[in-house]
Amino acid sequence: MIILSFERLSKRYGQTTALNDVSFDVPSGEIFGLLGPNGAGKSTLIRILMDIIRADAGEVRVFGEPRRREHLDRLGYLPEERGLYTKQTVIDVMTYFGSLKGLDRGEARRRALAWLEKVELPQVASWKIDRLSKGMSQKVQIASVLLSDPELCVLDEPTTGLDPVNVRLVQDLLVERRAHGRTTILSTHHMNQVETLCDRVALINTGRLMVYGEVGAVRRRHSLPEVLVHARGALPAVPLVEQASGNGNGVWRLRLADGVSPADVLRALVERGAVIDRFEPALAPMEDIFLRVVKEAQA
User: Are domains 2-219 and 224-282 of this chain identical in fold?
Assistant: no
Model-level pTM? 0.87
DSSP structural state of residue 52: S
Residue 37 is which amino acid? Answer: P
For the chain, 299 residues long, the average pLDDT of each consecutive 10-residue run is: 96 93 97 93 94 95 93 91 83 94 94 96 94 92 95 94 94 97 94 93 94 94 90 88 87 91 93 92 90 82
Residue 63, pLDDT score: 95
Cα separation, 14 vs 143, in Å, equals 37
Strand 31-35 with 183-187, pairing: parallel
CB 99 within 8 A of CB 112: no
Residue among 199, 273, 185 nearest 236 (CA)? 273
DSSP structural state of residue 68: -
Query: Which architecture characterizes domain 224-282 according to CATH?
Result: 2-Layer Sandwich (3.30)
The domain ranges of the chain are 2-219, 224-282
Alpha helices in the chain (DSSP H): 42-49, 90-100, 105-118, 134-146, 164-179, 191-197, 215-221, 262-271, 286-298
Cα separation, 283 vs 265, in Å, equals 17
Query: Which architecture characterizes domain 2-219 according to CATH?
Result: 3-Layer(aba) Sandwich (3.40)
